[in-house]
A and B are shown apart, each in its own frame.
Chain A
């Protein structure tokens, strides 16, 4: 539309640009500030004025030609669409943020500087003179707090006012010697370029920015003259062009800071104090473990368990007390309704023992999920997760991956699909493949019910409240161990990749975005329950209720088992599902869970991990007609012969191939059927071996030995060997020339 005003939003990563964007456009945006989660270019109209279009550019430090984000940003800025640029500046990091500001001003567009987090600066005791800064920069400067909302209205009206100007010749000037050269170059810029833009091109030509200058179409003669000017300047300054300009910018900024900022006496910021402890050489890793331990413990073992117990045993079980009146449980209500409308026993079973049992069990874990997501979201949003990447980097370097490989894993704690996709950030193909293969070891949201279920089952047999965090760490350890082992094979050996990262300051997340994150994850879980899980329960019901009457004295006919004559109590043993499960169950014999039920659960788990729980609930429901104790936990535990079997089952399902969705994503990411097969094969194989070891060592501890004990020991030895053997020669081509000092 002709009257539309286009506003470009530019700024460093983590400057609060996105918070501002969401505030003024009303988008329910996700605000995250650890790797892999920050939003890139977005567009929306101002909620207060639909004729203003705001484009949120990616967070960038500079308009250099090197990264796609920077190129996208500067192409957009120079492309003619924006009428004004709102440069969001993190007032607590003014010096570095101004580096981009200068470049944005150089584009010749009208600019308004939004000094964000101004309130934090005040608190720290520093004082910024916005007016003076504005005069030095040649553009309006307004203090705002995107989080709190102050100054935003003023910002918007300033932006509109500036937009009307259409263009603004940059006011700031560098050192006179450099300005001299820039002037001469400016004269060589084609006359067709408008005045406001000429300086921008002069600087780019000086920097020898090829991608910018292609579009200029400079004649060969002119280009040669430019080159001569630049080369002469480089000689005079004994430095290269890029460094000269960078130096000039920073020098200018230093002047501005001197004039406009009064610093409070230097004290360590709270962030620094926290970091001292959290990323401490010795304490860092243990603290991380303790934090994750606490998270899982709180979520699954304490409050969460009580709530989930209530949901499973009361809401979906026996019924409950509400203000003294006995309320029926959901299955009871549904059953009586079905009876009332005259549904047959078969359909009733489908609905109650199938759908309600399965979906209900999955929904039953929501209390624990909520607690977990609340805690994890808090850690993400406050900035702690960035520190974790920092701390884990060295652990990962041990096996040649950079901390960047840890990022997909952090994403995987929610869902493995975006986790696998996040590996596309890893340039090194081998590293990427390896990360794709191992990232699904980390328990995703869907695996939590499995952990919770196991916990409940095991608590019955021992005082094991630490089981839940243990399974989380099982995943992490699996990743690390796999990484180390794989890196030593020819397939994956290679040089570790570079890693440069900034640590944002800690801040307490806004309740709004925190609640939003939690809600997102929980609602995704619920949606999944009512879609995929629901469909799976229907299928499982059919498979477990239909079968052949092959019991002693049976007719051998195929049909709906419960309705057949002379059908035994354990009719499911003759179902199609039992047949399919039984065919494969022998694989799990050494792992301690070779019942067809356990196999069936593992298989349905491939569709979606929650199905392990859903299927368990269904099968137990069908079998529990005479069961006195309806508790899901004990019934589940009863499906296994030994505690070792339970644990092995848990480990196997947590580590084996992920759900279909994630598998499909692996296929996409690997871009090769062969590698997908390798990944899935490795995951299942590894899971099987771990399950074997757990079960066999448990048995050995109780004095039961067998040939499988030997096999388990052999595998353990193999793993240990692969872990400790030295890196094969030639794995890392350029080792640093200088040995690292003992710091």
Chain B
């Protein structure tokens, strides 16, 4: 499975599926990370983590562990 964690900075991918469970999964969904959404990895913070994304026109920062739950293609 290729996840958001494996995406290089600057590239845009599409969300295929959300793994994980409960509150965190729902939260990611509530913020717009759902199947079919385009996500651009804008930046990786100094020292590598968290990851900054552009989703539906706004910025969101999540850690690499959370990004691992977002399957992309």
Contact present between A and B (CB < 8 A): yes
Q: Which residue of B lies closest to A501 (CB)?
A: B61
* B57→A93 contact, CB < 8 A: yes
Partner of A279, one of B3, B28, B45: B45
A93 to B65, CA, bound (A): 26
Q: Which residues A57-98 have CB closer than 8 A to chain B?
A: 61-62, 64, 66-67, 93-96
Chain A interface size band reads 35 or more
* Given contact pairs A66-B22, A246-B30, A279 touches B43 in the complex (Cβ within 8 A): yes
Q: Is A250 an interface residue (CB 8 A)?
A: yes
* B48→A247 contact, CB < 8 A: no
* B48→A96 contact, CB < 8 A: no
Q: Which residue of B lies closest to A503 (CB)?
A: B59
* A390→B29 contact, CB < 8 A: no
A64 to B29, CA, bound (A): 11
Q: Which residues B1-54 have CB closer than 8 A to chain A?
A: 3, 5-6, 8-9, 18, 22-24, 26-32, 34-37, 42-50, 52
Partner of B45, one of A66, A272, A281: A281
Q: Is A395 an interface residue (CB 8 A)?
A: yes
Partner of B30, one of A61, A280, A285, A740: A61
- A383 → chain B closest CB, angstroms: 11
A275 to B53, CA, bound (A): 12
* B35→A503 contact, CB < 8 A: no
Partner of B34, one of A95, A243, A275: A243
- Among B5, B48, B56, max chain A CB count under 10 A is at B56
A499 to B24, CA, bound (A): 10
* Given contact pairs A64-B30, A503-B52, A738 touches B45 in the complex (Cβ within 8 A): no
* B63→A499 contact, CB < 8 A: yes
Partner of A394, one of B26, B42, B50: B50
Chain B interface size band reads 35 or more
Q: Is A284 an interface residue (CB 8 A)?
A: yes
* A61→B46 contact, CB < 8 A: no
A394 to B61, CA, bound (A): 12
Tell me which residues across on chain A come within 8 A of B36, comparing CB atoms. 247
A743 to B43, CA, bound (A): 10
Tell me which residues across on chain A come within 8 A of B57, comparing CB atoms. 93-96
Q: Is A242 an interface residue (CB 8 A)?
A: yes
Tell me which residues across on chain A come within 8 A of B29, comparing CB atoms. 242-243, 246
* A743→B27 contact, CB < 8 A: no
* A391→B32 contact, CB < 8 A: no
A93 to B54, CA, bound (A): 12
Tell me which residues across on chain A come within 8 A of B60, comparing CB atoms. 500, 502-503
Tell me which residues across on chain B come within 8 A of A93, comparing CB atoms. 57-58
* Given contact pairs A93-B58, A281-B45, A393 touches B65 in the complex (Cβ within 8 A): no
- A111 → chain B closest CB, angstroms: 19
* Given contact pairs A390-B45, A743-B44, A498 touches B32 in the complex (Cβ within 8 A): no
* Given contact pairs A390-B45, A394-B49, A502-B61, A247 touches B34 in the complex (Cβ within 8 A): yes
Q: Which residue of A lies closest to B24 (CB)?
A: A498
Partner of B32, one of A99, A283, A397, A738: A99
- B63 → chain A closest CB, angstroms: 5
Q: Is A736 an interface residue (CB 8 A)?
A: yes
Tell me which residues across on chain B come within 8 A of A179, comparing CB atoms. none
* A66→B46 contact, CB < 8 A: no
Q: Is A625 an interface residue (CB 8 A)?
A: no
Partner of A738, one of B6, B31, B48, B56: B6
Q: Which residues A291-313 have CB closer than 8 A to chain B?
A: none
- B54 → chain A closest CB, angstroms: 9
Q: Which residue of B lies closest to A93 (CB)?
A: B58
- A87 → chain B closest CB, angstroms: 15
Q: Is A239 an interface residue (CB 8 A)?
A: yes
Q: Is A741 an interface residue (CB 8 A)?
A: yes
* A66→B26 contact, CB < 8 A: yes
* A500→B27 contact, CB < 8 A: yes
* B52→A736 contact, CB < 8 A: no
* Given contact pairs A64-B26, A285-B46, A397-B49, A740 touches B64 in the complex (Cβ within 8 A): yes
Q: Is A341 an interface residue (CB 8 A)?
A: no
Q: Which residue of B lies closest to A734 (CB)?
A: B65
* A239→B35 contact, CB < 8 A: yes
Q: Is A282 an interface residue (CB 8 A)?
A: yes
A649 to B37, CA, bound (A): 57
* A281→B44 contact, CB < 8 A: yes
Tell me which residues across on chain B come within 8 A of A499, comparing CB atoms. 50, 62-63, 66
- B19 → chain A closest CB, angstroms: 12
- Among B5, B45, B60, max chain A CB count under 10 A is at B45
* B8→A284 contact, CB < 8 A: no
Tell me which residues across on chain A come within 8 A of B50, comparing CB atoms. 390, 393-394, 403, 499, 501
Q: Which residue of A lies closest to B49 (CB)?
A: A394
A386 to B28, CA, bound (A): 19
Q: Supply 20 A–B pairs (Cβ within 8 Å), ascending by A.
A: A62-B26, A93-B58, A243-B34, A275-B59, A276-B43, A279-B45, A281-B43, A281-B45, A281-B46, A390-B52, A393-B45, A393-B49, A394-B46, A394-B47, A394-B48, A397-B49, A498-B65, A500-B28, A503-B61, A741-B8
Beyond A391-B45, A500-B61, A740-B48, 19 additional contacts (C-beta under 8 Å) are: A61-B31, A66-B22, A242-B29, A247-B36, A272-B59, A281-B44, A281-B46, A283-B46, A284-B46, A393-B49, A395-B47, A499-B63, A500-B62, A736-B68, A738-B6, A740-B64, A741-B6, A741-B8, A743-B9
